[in-house]
Each structure stands twice: as structure tokens, then as C-alpha cells.
A and B are shown apart, each in its own frame.
Chain A
Amino acid sequence: MTPALTTATSGTAVGDDIPAAVRIDHVHKSYGRPGADRPVLDDITLDVRPGEFVCLLGASGCGKSTLLNLVAGLDRPTAGSITVPGGRPALMFQEHALFPWLTAGRNIELALRLRGVPRAGRRAEAERLLELVRLGGAYGKRVHELSGGMRQRVALARALAQDSRVLLMDEPFAALDAITRDVLHHELTRIWSETELSVLFVTHNVREAVRLGQRVVLLSSRPGRVVREWEVGIPQPRRIEDAAVADLSVEITEELREEIRRHGRH
């Protein structure tokens, strides 16, 4: 898959000829009385192209989770609109959110069942998805019997079981150690490149964003706005310790610092 390279640098919307996988259109979000508080999200416009991997970067509390929840349909924007033409997106939470009363395999089968997969095909499909995240033997394991990294992989398999065109990921690897995270980055890019999935990946880790994304979008804090975006031209497979990844990370980190400093000034 060769990503279409555009020269867009900020606040881009995809041209009307290509239907976006996710279209976030002038979205505002404030909690409480409208207009009373400073909004959490202010006029966010962002498109994710079909098959694109977009990383959303921003300081803690800038509204990244809020935005993902809006896209997932768990909450409504105060103003503006969000369209996901391909149907309900899958959302992978920061915590694994697996159901502890089911085994790893059954968690996946529940997602399949809710999607309408007939009973006969579920078991095999669940096994296939576990195989995909390299957890072939984990079907009968209880959630508490799995390590943190394994849980995240089962959660990824469950999200993939929804067979959505769009995968939303909210800092899914934030709580993992560097080596495990590295392994999961590899898995994720592999799975993404083997499917037509569009990914919107939230993180506050600049290196992670550059390691994974075709495009990195920086959000400001209070109110959350799109400050700038970068096209990442480094070909996959990348590694987090690559010099090119490091160089771009330095540049983005500087911008992020500047963004945070701005808050100290007023």
C-alpha cells in the first residue's frame, strides 16, 4: 500500500473527490452549560482518508479522549458534525476493557456475535484473530491470567473482530514497558498494512506517533485545536530508534513544548 502524499500542513480536509473514512467537521465540545466554560474542543476539522494511519498528539487533558469518544459515538459534539461513512468504528480503550467473566477467546466471540457472525463460524474466526495477534494458545485463558501486553493484544483482536473500517485507539500502549510496546507497534503496523483499516491513534508519546503514523496531528490544549500536522514520509517498517524517527520527533517535540509554554504566558 502506498500512502497518497499530500502537501497539506495544517487543518486539512480531504478533497471532496475522495470520501473520507472519518470526517470531523468544525467540531466543538464543551461540558456543562454551552458557552459558560472554555470548550474542551474548539473547531476541530480533521479527515482520515481510507486506509490512512493518523496519530493524534497532544498534552494531557487537551481533549484527545473526548474527540475519540465523539468519533466512536459514545458522546455527542456540542456543535459541528462527525461522519463515519463505513459504519460504527471499533474503539480500543487505554485500559484493555476486556470482560473478565469471559475467556480471551469468548471476548472475541462476543464481538463477532454482536456483529452478526453465525455461531458455526465464530470459534474458528476467534482463533484466527488470536493467531493474527500471535496469541494462538490463549483462547481459553481468563483475562486475569494474561500479562498486560497479552491483554492489549486480545483487546486489539477484539477490536478487529468488529470488522469495522475504522479503528480508534486511545493510548492503547501507554501502560506497557518499552520492549512490549515495541513488539505491539510492530504487530499493529503489520496488521494495518495487511488490511484496508483506517486508524486514528491517540498518544502523548511523540516518538510513538512518528513510529506509527503516516500523518501526525498536533492538538493544542484548552481549547483543543489542530495546531499543525506533519506527513511522515519515512517508509515502514520503521523502528522507534531510527535516526529519521528521532529527527522528526525532535522537531515535533519542540513544537509541542512551545504549545505548552504558550499556556504559561497567559
Chain B
Amino acid sequence: MAGTDTTPVAGGDLAGLEAGLDALDAVQVKRTPLRQVLLQKVLPPVVAVVLVLVVWKLLVLARVTDDYKLPDPSAVGGSLRRLWLDGTLLDIIWTSVSRGLLGFVAALAIGTPLGLLVARVPVVRAAIGPILSGLQSLPSVAWVPAAVIWLGITDAAMYAVILLGAVPSIANGLVSGVDQVPPLYLRAGRTMGATGVRGARFVLFPAALPGYIAGLKQGWAFSWRSLMAAELIASSPELGLGLGQYLENARTDSDMPGVLLGILLILFVGIAIDLIVFSPLERRVLRMRGLAAR
């Protein structure tokens, strides 16, 4: 039954066919125009903020409560202007942000190897895996009293609270990132000779990156929250004036515009760091893999 009517395939014919096929089903990636980004991403939150301000103003005008409980938005604006003119605004923010970021970097340095250990060494996972994920649900404010007794009202106490809040998040993020790596990638890596350290470097870690970054993002949120709680509770004149202390000082002075300003600044910094650092990082990583919605 050997080669009776085998017509040789014309190479050019197939090449044309191939090009046609590829043109048909390759995904088209296009960038969204700036106007659309402004309209869809920037406008909605601006409208939301304006709405909140309007409602706030209306409540003040309607005199729902005393002035010292609910000050006019312009009073908060006045406090902000005064801080700015004093030249203390940026100092206050920087004191807290630098503490938060330094603590976060330390948490990163501890949480990453810890997460790798838990993910890859079964004994370690059995021993501390459940504790680590349990710690995530423990509000880190609960550590403040202990940290103050151990370390006094010092910067060290602040950092201890940050670490206790952020390390579990970062480690857990890495663990779940590693757990979710499709075994197919590891097997593909092995057939190419990526085993041991090279397997971790070229396959495991990049594959686990999305989970790791989600952990970092959460770790930052926890760092910031823990730090504010610590500054608020363990405030002392010896420590530099941070946002938490500013808020606490405003409370003791019954300065409601100052209190509201403190809350808004804490919120603002938390959002800003996320928007400037973590969200772009996460989006980049996901978009590279074709996982991001937009």
C-alpha cells in the first residue's frame, strides 16, 4: 500500500494557509485611549468624593448635631492649611510613612524566607502553617500593650507591631502563591533541567509572583493599620510626631476638625501608597500574563 497517490504538499500553499489561520485567531491587544481612562477610572471616584462632601455640608447646614461634633468641611480645610503653613504637615506625614515603609521592608525580609520555608518544607508547614494563617485574623492592635510592656513607648515597639501585623500576610501570600502554581509548569521546568535552586528561580518564584504580590499588598495594608494603632495608643512626646500622635493630640484638645483631618490623612496615605506602589505592580504582573481585566 506504499505511496500511491501522495501529492507532495506545496510549501507556499501551506505557508499561506498558516498565515491566514494566525491572522484569524490571534488576540488583538489594543491600548485604551486616555480620554476613556479619565472617564472610566478617574471621574467616578471624584464624583463619589464630591458627593460625600456635599452630604457632609448639608448635614452641617441642617444642624443635625453640635458644631464641635460635626465641624464644617471648611474648618477641616483650615486645619490642613494651618499645618501646611506651619511647615509641619509633610513632617508629620513623613514620620509615619517612613516608619511604615521601613517596617514593611523589614517585614518583607522576614516574611519572604519564612513563606518559602512554610511552602516548601512539610514539617515547617505542619508546625507553623496554621498559626501563621491564624495570626492574619488577629488584629495587630492586640499586640500594642505587649509591645509597650516589652519595649516601652519607643520606635522599637512601633516596628514590633508592624512586623507582627505584616509578616504573616506576606508569608501567607507567598505560600498560597506557591500552592497555586500549576504542577504542569514545574514538570515542564523539570524536563528542561530547571530543578533545585534553578527550578525555584526560573519557574517556582515567577509562577508564584501574583500570589506573592497580593500578599505584599495586604502586608502593606496591615503594616499601615498596625502602625496607626500603635502611634495612637502609645503616643509620647519623645517619639517624633506622626499621624497617629497628631490624631491623639487633636482628641485630647477636643479639636474635632483636627481629628477629622487626622483620619482623612491616614486614609489618604494608605490609599496613595497602594495606588503609587502596589496596584501598578500588581496590574503589571497580571497584565503581562493576560490575567488582568483591563
Q: Check: A115 CB closer than 8 A to any chain B CB.
A: yes
> Roughly how many angstroms separate A100 CA and B209 CA in the complex, as a whole number?
12
- Check if A242 sits within 8 Å of B5, measured CB to CB: yes
Q: Which of B1, B25, B291 has the most CB of A within 10 A?
A: B1
A142 surroundings in chain B (CB, below 8 A): 288-290
> Roughly how many angstroms separate A115 CA and B187 CA in the complex, as a whole number?
16
- Closest beta carbon of chain B to A164's beta carbon, Å: 9
- Check if B22 sits within 8 Å of A150, measured CB to CB: yes
Report if A244-B193 is in contact (Cβ < 8 Å); known contacts: A97-B184, A97-B185, A100-B290.
Answer: no
Q: Check: B6 CB closer than 8 A to any chain A CB.
A: yes
Q: B-side binding surface: helix, strand, loop or mixed?
A: helix
- Check if B193 sits within 8 Å of A149, measured CB to CB: no
- Check if A247 sits within 8 Å of B15, measured CB to CB: no
Contact of B3 among A114, A143, A162, A244 (CB under 8 A): A244
Q: Which of B105-113, B129-137, B198-206 contacts A (4 or more CB under 8 A)?
A: B198-206
> Roughly how many angstroms separate A235 CA and B2 CA in the complex, as a whole number?
7
Q: In B144-167, which residues have CB < 8 Å from any A CB?
A: none
Q: Please classify how large the interface on chain B is, using the bins under 10, 10 to 19, 20 to 34, 35 or more.
A: 35 or more
Q: Check: B272 CB closer than 8 A to any chain A CB.
A: no
Interface residues on chain A, number (Cβ under 8 Å): 46
- Check if A243 sits within 8 Å of B26, measured CB to CB: no
Q: Check: A197 CB closer than 8 A to any chain B CB.
A: no
Q: Check: A53 CB closer than 8 A to any chain B CB.
A: no
What would 15 A/B residue contacts be, using CB atoms closer than 8 Å?
A90-B191, A93-B184, A97-B187, A100-B288, A101-B206, A101-B207, A101-B285, A110-B202, A111-B192, A114-B193, A143-B289, A145-B26, A149-B21, A237-B6, A248-B1
Residues of B bordering A, CB below 8 Å: 1-9, 14-15, 17-18, 21-22, 24-27, 29, 184-185, 187-188, 190-194, 198, 202-203, 206-207, 209, 285, 288-291
Residues of A bordering B, CB below 8 Å: 72-74, 88-91, 93, 95, 97, 99-102, 110-111, 113-115, 134, 142-150, 158, 162, 179-180, 183, 186, 233-235, 237-239, 242-244, 247-248
Q: A93-B187, A145-B27 are in contact. List 19 more A-B contacts (CB 8 A).
A: A72-B191, A90-B192, A97-B187, A99-B207, A100-B290, A114-B192, A114-B202, A115-B192, A147-B25, A147-B26, A149-B22, A162-B193, A180-B21, A183-B17, A238-B3, A239-B9, A242-B6, A243-B4, A244-B4
